[in-house]
């Protein structure tokens, strides 16, 4: 059985006191069928780790692929590992767009994460113009190929994938469950072609993009959707808890 996961990507939101309050309010967010991961600002990672409970795992939104050195302002996978971080988002569309992160650079991040025993949550997804040209499948499978397909089966199976259509992120415009399932199925078949069906069936593929308490149940009931990467709706206790309980 694949892992079911609900992850909260808090992005660059909340000041310390608000973030702490939200985190503590999730303490009893528990559904034994689901793994819950929170990705807060890097600034709050240590204090969340100190206050965490076994219901919630803490991940970082970003990291730099070199262990140590003169890279002012960066935090490495190696450093994150040293405080006990288990997951890192890699390839979020906001990092690709605003920080020019290429598939090639993301490949380095994936390698650095795995070398440090950190699970990459690898994000992929197309823009509206790519979807309008009907090229979304080609685009997404290429993102996966260029950043992940150099991995051996043993390392690839440690990754989690998140499909996040850019046109649905923060827009309130969710992909329909048919659209999302279609892409998730394509991703799984693409993985099966490279690594075999057994491994492809073990990889968790999450949906992200305006997923909320009203649409999560329908999305998560699709056979190839194993949970969600939630932005806006993860910033409200009631919404995020309801999404966790959608399974």
Which stretches of the chain bind ligand PGA, using CB under 6 A? 9, 164, 169-170, 208-211, 229-233
**Active-site annotation holder among 87, 92, 136, 184:** 92
Handedness of CA 203, 206, 149, 134 (dihedral sign): positive
Which residue of the set 35, 101, 136, 164 is catalytic? 164
The sign of the dihedral angle between the CA atoms of 33, 83, 119, 140 is: positive
178 is catalytic: no
Q: Which is nearer to ligand PGA, 147 or 210 (CB)?
A: 210
Task: Please give the residue whose beta carbon sits closest to ligand PGA in the complex.
Answer: 231
Phi, psi torsion values for 60, nearest 5 degrees? -105, 150
Smallest distance, ligand PGA to C-beta of residue 94, A: 7
CB of 23 to ligand PGA, least distance (A): 18
Nearest-approach distance from CB 209 to ligand PGA, in angstroms: 5
| Closer residue to ligand PGA, CB minimum distance, 56 or 89 | 89
Q: Is 184 a catalytic residue?
A: no
Rounded to 5°, angle at Cα 127 from 88 and 206: 40
Distances from the Cα of 85 to the Cα of 39, 117, 127, 202, 203, angstroms: 10, 9, 30, 23, 20
Q: How far is the CB of 50 from ligand PGA (least distance, A)?
A: 25
Q: Which residues does 99 contact at the CB level (< 8 Å), separation at least 6?
A: none
- Where in the sequence numbering do the catalytic residues fall? 92, 164
């Amino acid at each position: 059985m694949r892992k079911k996961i609900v992850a909260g990507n808090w992005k660059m939101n909340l000041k310390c006191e608000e973030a702490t309050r939200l985190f503590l309010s999730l303490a009893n967010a528990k559904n034994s069928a689901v793994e819950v991961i929170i990705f807060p600002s890097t600034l709050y990672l240590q204090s969340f780790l100190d206050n965490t409970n076994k219901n919630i795992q803490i991940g970082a939104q970003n990291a730099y692929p070199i262990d140590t050195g003169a890279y002012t302002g960066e935090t490495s996978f190696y450093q994150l590992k040293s405080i006990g971080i288990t997951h890192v988002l890699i390839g979020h569309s906001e990092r690709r767009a605003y920080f020019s992160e290429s598939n090639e650079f993301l490949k380095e991040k994936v390698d650095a994460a795995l070398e440090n025993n950190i699970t990459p949550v690898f994000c992929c997804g197309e823009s509206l113009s790519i979807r309008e040209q009907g090229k979304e499948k080609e685009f997404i499978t290429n993102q996966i190929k260029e950043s992940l397909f150099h991995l051996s089966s043993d390392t690839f199976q440690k990754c989690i994938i998140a499909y996040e259509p850019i046109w649905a992120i923060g827009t309130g415009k969710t992909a329909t469950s048919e659209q999302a399932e279609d892409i998730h199925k394509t991703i799984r078949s693409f993985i099966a072609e490279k690594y075999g069906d057994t491994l492809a069936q073990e990889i968790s593929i999450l949906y992200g993009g305006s997923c909320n308490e009203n649409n999560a149940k329908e999305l998560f009931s699709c056979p190839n959707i194993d949970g969600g990467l939630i932005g806006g709706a993860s910033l409200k206790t009631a919404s995020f808890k309801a999404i966790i309980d959608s399974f």
